[in-house]
Amino acid sequence: MTRICKNCEYINQDDYDFCAKCGTPLVEGLKPRQVYIYKPEQLQINKKALVAAYIITIFLSWIGVIVGLLSKHTNLAVFTFFGFFMPFYLVQSRHPTLRKHGIIMMIISLAGVALSFYIMLH
Protein backbone atom coordinates (compact mmCIF):
# COMPACT_ATOMS: atom_id res chain seq x y z
CA MET A 1 0.00 0.00 0.00
CA THR A 2 1.19 3.52 -0.66
CA ARG A 3 0.66 6.90 0.96
CA ILE A 4 -0.25 9.86 -1.22
CA CYS A 5 0.91 13.29 -0.12
CA LYS A 6 -1.90 15.79 0.38
CA ASN A 7 0.39 18.67 -0.52
CA CYS A 8 2.05 17.55 -3.78
CA GLU A 9 0.21 14.27 -4.49
CA TYR A 10 3.48 12.33 -4.68
CA ILE A 11 3.06 8.58 -4.18
CA ASN A 12 5.21 7.47 -1.22
CA GLN A 13 5.97 4.05 0.22
CA ASP A 14 3.75 2.80 3.02
CA ASP A 15 6.44 3.02 5.71
CA TYR A 16 7.24 6.69 5.03
CA ASP A 17 6.06 9.16 7.66
CA PHE A 18 7.02 12.19 5.57
CA CYS A 19 6.69 12.85 1.84
CA ALA A 20 9.88 11.98 -0.02
CA LYS A 21 9.36 14.90 -2.40
CA CYS A 22 8.24 17.85 -0.26
CA GLY A 23 8.64 16.69 3.37
CA THR A 24 4.99 17.09 4.36
CA PRO A 25 3.88 14.74 7.19
CA LEU A 26 1.90 11.79 5.86
CA VAL A 27 0.58 10.76 9.30
CA GLU A 28 -1.83 12.94 11.26
CA GLY A 29 -0.30 14.56 14.32
CA LEU A 30 3.32 14.53 13.18
CA LYS A 31 5.07 17.86 13.08
CA PRO A 32 7.02 18.64 9.91
CA ARG A 33 10.75 18.43 10.21
CA GLN A 34 13.06 21.12 9.01
CA VAL A 35 14.14 20.05 5.55
CA TYR A 36 17.05 21.53 3.66
CA ILE A 37 16.95 21.25 -0.10
CA TYR A 38 20.20 21.91 -1.90
CA LYS A 39 20.11 22.68 -5.57
CA PRO A 40 23.17 21.57 -7.56
CA GLU A 41 23.84 25.15 -8.65
CA GLN A 42 24.23 26.23 -5.01
CA LEU A 43 26.99 23.75 -4.18
CA GLN A 44 30.54 25.07 -4.09
CA ILE A 45 33.17 23.38 -6.25
CA ASN A 46 36.51 22.59 -4.66
CA LYS A 47 38.96 24.05 -7.18
CA LYS A 48 41.95 22.14 -5.77
CA ALA A 49 40.09 18.84 -6.14
CA LEU A 50 39.16 19.74 -9.71
CA VAL A 51 42.80 20.52 -10.58
CA ALA A 52 43.85 17.23 -8.95
CA ALA A 53 41.22 15.42 -11.04
CA TYR A 54 42.67 16.93 -14.23
CA ILE A 55 46.21 15.94 -13.23
CA ILE A 56 45.17 12.37 -12.40
CA THR A 57 43.20 12.05 -15.64
CA ILE A 58 46.05 13.37 -17.77
CA PHE A 59 48.59 11.17 -16.02
CA LEU A 60 46.55 7.98 -16.30
CA SER A 61 45.41 8.65 -19.86
CA TRP A 62 48.74 9.69 -21.31
CA ILE A 63 51.11 7.37 -19.42
CA GLY A 64 50.62 4.80 -22.18
CA VAL A 65 52.04 7.24 -24.74
CA ILE A 66 55.17 7.78 -22.66
CA VAL A 67 55.62 4.08 -21.92
CA GLY A 68 54.96 3.22 -25.56
CA LEU A 69 57.57 5.68 -26.78
CA LEU A 70 60.17 4.55 -24.25
CA SER A 71 59.73 0.82 -24.72
CA LYS A 72 58.51 -0.49 -28.05
CA HIS A 73 56.46 -3.67 -28.31
CA THR A 74 54.78 -3.44 -24.92
CA ASN A 75 51.17 -3.98 -23.98
CA LEU A 76 51.23 -1.54 -21.05
CA ALA A 77 49.14 0.95 -23.01
CA VAL A 78 46.11 -1.01 -21.85
CA PHE A 79 46.45 0.66 -18.45
CA THR A 80 45.53 4.01 -19.99
CA PHE A 81 41.89 2.98 -19.63
CA PHE A 82 42.20 3.93 -15.95
CA GLY A 83 42.16 7.53 -17.18
CA PHE A 84 38.43 7.17 -17.89
CA PHE A 85 37.40 6.66 -14.25
CA MET A 86 37.39 10.30 -13.19
CA PRO A 87 35.64 11.65 -16.34
CA PHE A 88 32.93 8.97 -16.17
CA TYR A 89 32.29 9.92 -12.56
CA LEU A 90 32.08 13.66 -13.28
CA VAL A 91 29.90 13.32 -16.39
CA GLN A 92 27.20 11.74 -14.20
CA SER A 93 27.13 14.73 -11.82
CA ARG A 94 24.01 16.88 -11.51
CA HIS A 95 26.14 20.01 -11.27
CA PRO A 96 26.49 21.57 -14.75
CA THR A 97 30.04 22.83 -14.13
CA LEU A 98 31.27 19.42 -12.99
CA ARG A 99 29.56 17.79 -15.95
CA LYS A 100 31.31 20.25 -18.31
CA HIS A 101 34.72 19.46 -16.78
CA GLY A 102 33.92 15.75 -17.01
CA ILE A 103 33.32 16.09 -20.75
CA ILE A 104 36.59 17.99 -21.18
CA MET A 105 38.44 15.27 -19.24
CA MET A 106 36.73 12.62 -21.37
CA ILE A 107 38.10 14.26 -24.53
CA ILE A 108 41.59 14.42 -22.99
CA SER A 109 41.32 10.74 -22.03
CA LEU A 110 40.09 9.69 -25.47
CA ALA A 111 43.02 11.43 -27.15
CA GLY A 112 45.55 9.87 -24.78
CA VAL A 113 44.10 6.37 -25.05
CA ALA A 114 43.82 6.56 -28.85
CA LEU A 115 47.41 7.72 -29.19
CA SER A 116 48.60 5.07 -26.73
CA PHE A 117 46.94 2.30 -28.70
CA TYR A 118 48.25 3.71 -31.97
CA ILE A 119 51.79 3.59 -30.59
CA MET A 120 51.22 0.12 -29.13
CA LEU A 121 49.91 -1.35 -32.40
CA HIS A 122 52.45 0.26 -34.75
**24 and 49 co-located in one domain:** no
Same-domain check for residues 63 and 106 = yes
116 with 75, same domain? yes
**52 and 27 in a common domain:** no
H/E stretch holding 4? strand 2-4
**Is 0.85 surpassed by the pTM of this model?**
no
Reported as a single tens digit per residue, the pLDDT across 29-62 is 777 666 666 665 567 888 999 999 999 999 988 8
Closest CA to 29 of 21, 17, 12: 17
4 is in which domain, residue-wise? Answer: 1-37
Q: How many domains does the chain have?
A: 2
